[in-house]
């Protein structure tokens, strides 16, 4: 499906949402809080300006919240959380200063098997992530003192957890959690599934390991129910067109969540 088609479908969903909101307002009914969790990967030096513009837009269109938020959000409000997968140093260098300047919290999901090295799970030299470097334990320790940063786990080696047996999946989830806690000196309660690959079995395993919340890459509204354990996210990147980014903040790309579910049932 082309980018233009995705944009057109998202625009239609946004228009439908607006009509429903106007109808609810006309009868005095408040809509529930609407929250989108974005996920990025790298933010290179050349992307910093575009990323900064996106964060300006995010602050205009939504109230920034941490991905670790617990408890009810204000009815009728629109919120957004910013997360990064893979623990790349480029995020510390280029994204974090822009977030700090705007007082936007971020959650950084870090794999523990490639400290200070190229990401071991990226084998194609043509892939953009091939040139990235994962942060070091010292960098992580310094991030742990930053009030705008929450650290989450992202496995050891960034595998497809669905391809592992239960013992292997548990090791990836559990030992990465323990390693981050050793470096930071405090509990790590969030986990992002590598490649977004998860199943009910893996969700239950994450709960058994001790995580408080897990994150997928299925775009959906976040924090809609009390005690939510599985939270969906919307893919974002500095190269998004402004209209794409605006629609993502509005939750209009969540049709891709339903499309994915339909494909799974076929």
pLDDT value at residue 73: 81
Q: Largest Cα–Cα distance of the chain, in whole Å?
A: 57
Its pTM surpasses 0.75: yes
**What's the CATH code of the domain at 217?**
3.20.20.370
Residue 155 forms part of a structural domain:
yes
What backbone torsions phi and psi does residue 22 show, to the nearest 5 degrees? -65, -40
What helix, strand, coil percent values describe the chain, rounded to 5? 45, 15, 40
Residue 20 forms part of a structural domain:
no
pLDDT value at residue 28: 72
Domain count for the chain, please give it. 1
Residue 75 forms part of a structural domain:
yes
Residue 158 forms part of a structural domain:
yes
Are 129 and 84 spatial neighbours (Cβ–Cβ below 8 Å)? no
Range of the domain at 242: 31-265
pLDDT value at residue 72: 66
Neighbours of 196 (CB within 10 A): 17
Residue 9 forms part of a structural domain:
no
Residue 12 forms part of a structural domain:
no
Based on the number of CB atoms within 10 Å of its own CB, is 101 exposed (0-12), middle (13-18) or buried (19 or more)?
A: exposed
Per-residue pLDDT of the chain (266 residues; tens, 9 = 90+): 799 998 999 899 889 888 887 877 777 777 788 999 999 999 999 999 999 999 999 999 999 999 998 876 878 889 999 999 999 999 999 999 999 999 999 999 999 999 999 999 999 999 999 999 999 999 999 999 999 999 999 999 999 999 999 999 999 999 999 999 999 999 999 999 999 999 999 999 999 999 999 999 999 999 988 889 999 999 999 999 999 999 999 999 998 876 555 444 33
Residue 180 forms part of a structural domain:
yes
């Amino acid at each position: 499906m082309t980018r233009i088609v995705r944009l057109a479908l998202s625009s239609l969903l946004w228009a439908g949402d607006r009509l429903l909101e106007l109808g609810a307002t006309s009868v005095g009914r408040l809509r529930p809080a609407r929250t989108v969790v974005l996920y990025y990967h790298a933010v290179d030096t050349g992307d910093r300006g575009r990323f900064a513009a996106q964060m300006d837009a995010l602050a205009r269109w939504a109230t920034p919240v941490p991905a670790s938020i617990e408890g009810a959000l204000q009815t009728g409000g629109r919120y957004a959380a910013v997360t990064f997968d893979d623990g790349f140093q480029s995020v510390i260098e280029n994204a974090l200063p822009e977030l700090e300047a705007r007082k936007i919290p971020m959650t950084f999901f870090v794999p523990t098997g490639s400290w200070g090295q190229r990401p071991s799970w990226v084998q194609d030299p043509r892939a953009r992530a091939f040139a990235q470097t994962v942060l070091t334990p010292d960098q992580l320790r310094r991030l742990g003192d930053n009030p705008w940063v929450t650290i989450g786990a992202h496995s050891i080696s960034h595998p497809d957890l669905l391809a592992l047996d239960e013992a292997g999946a548990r090791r990836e989830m559990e030992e990465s959690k323990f390693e981050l806690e050793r470096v930071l000196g405090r509990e790590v309660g969030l986990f992002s599934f590598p490649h977004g690959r998860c199943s009910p079995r893996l969700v239950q395993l994450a709960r058994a390991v001790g995580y408080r919340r897990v994150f997928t890459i299925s775009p959906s509204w976040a924090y809609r129910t009390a005690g939510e354990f599985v939270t969906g996210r919307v893919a974002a990147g500095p190269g998004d067109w402004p209209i794409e980014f605006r629609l993502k903040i509005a939750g209009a790309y969540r049709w891709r969540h339903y499309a994915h579910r339909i494909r799974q049932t076929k």
